[in-house]
């Protein structure tokens, strides 16, 4: 576990702020009950990243923020196999990656709709992906081929659902490590 400070609550992505704060015990109770909560990494006013644990743990969303609490990168993890929700697959799959870049002179805090550049990648289990991106007026849409099987497993899959308090693996930004 890393040494950064961790707190819990309900984070408002649209406005980039902590809406409600939970104690660790309250967050643990919410985890056991399958209720939504957020893990806040670093300063609760200006965190480096936040992690949403969705109701019933149907997904985990990791979001990196800039110094104005604007979203710069997010990963959405879902169960490997949605058809087996009842038995719940042991692995999570990185289904979507979103990024935003802002002009250096743009210091407008959330709620912020526009960005200088943005993109989304939608992954398949074999590592192939559909990509959408824009930069200014330019638009890009394309597909990428499947990855090598070992590479897809390493980058796109988490070997298990995170245990409460053990967030390092799912919140790592560099998926190659």
**Is residue 73 in some structural domain?**
yes
Domain containing 148 — which CATH number?
2.40.128
**Is residue 22 in some structural domain?**
no
Q: How far apart are CA 60 and CA 93, in angstroms?
A: 10
Q: How far apart are CA 103 and CA 6, in angstroms?
A: 30
**Is residue 128 in some structural domain?**
yes
**Is residue 93 in some structural domain?**
yes
Q: pLDDT tens across 37-78, in order?
A: 999 999 999 999 999 999 888 899 999 999 999 999 999 999
Is the pLDDT at 84 greater than 70, yes or no?
no
Q: How far apart are CA 139 and CA 45, in angstroms?
A: 34
First to last CA, the chain: 16
**Is residue 24 in some structural domain?**
no
**Is residue 35 in some structural domain?**
no
Is the pLDDT at 1 greater than 50, yes or no?
no
Provide Rg for the chain, Cα atoms. Answer: 17
Overall domain count for the chain: 1
**Is residue 173 in some structural domain?**
no
Q: Of 32, 33, 17, which is closest to residue 70 (Cα–Cα)?
A: 17
- Write down the pTM of the prediction: 0.88
Q: Pick the residue with more confidence: 42 or 1?
A: 42
Q: How far apart are CA 64 and CA 49, in angstroms?
A: 4
**Which percentage of the chain shows pLDDT scores above 70?**
91
DSSP state at residue 13 = T
Domain limits for position 83: 54-158
**Is residue 72 in some structural domain?**
yes
């Amino acid at each position: 576990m890393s040494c950064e400070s961790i707190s819990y609550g309900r984070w408002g992505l649209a406005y980039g702020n902590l809406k409600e704060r939970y104690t660790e015990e309250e967050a643990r109770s919410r985890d056991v009950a399958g209720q939504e909560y957020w893990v806040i990494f670093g300063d609760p006013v200006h965190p480096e990243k936040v992690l949403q644990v969705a109701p019933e743990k149907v997904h985990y969303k990791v979001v990196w923020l800039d110094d104005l609490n604007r979203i710069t990168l997010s990963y959405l993890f879902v169960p490997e196999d949605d058809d087996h929700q009842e038995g719940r697959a042991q692995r999570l799959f990185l289904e979507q990656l979103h990024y935003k870049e802002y002009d250096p002179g743009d210091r407008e805090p959330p709620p912020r709709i526009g960005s200088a550049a943005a993109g989304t990648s939608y992954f398949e289990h074999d590592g192939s992906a559909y990509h959408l991106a824009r930069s200014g007026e330019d638009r890009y849409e394309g597909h990428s081929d499947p990855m090598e099987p070992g590479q897809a497993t390493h980058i796109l899959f988490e070997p298990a659902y995170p245990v409460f308090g053990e967030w390092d693996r799912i919140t790592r930004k560099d998926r190659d490590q």
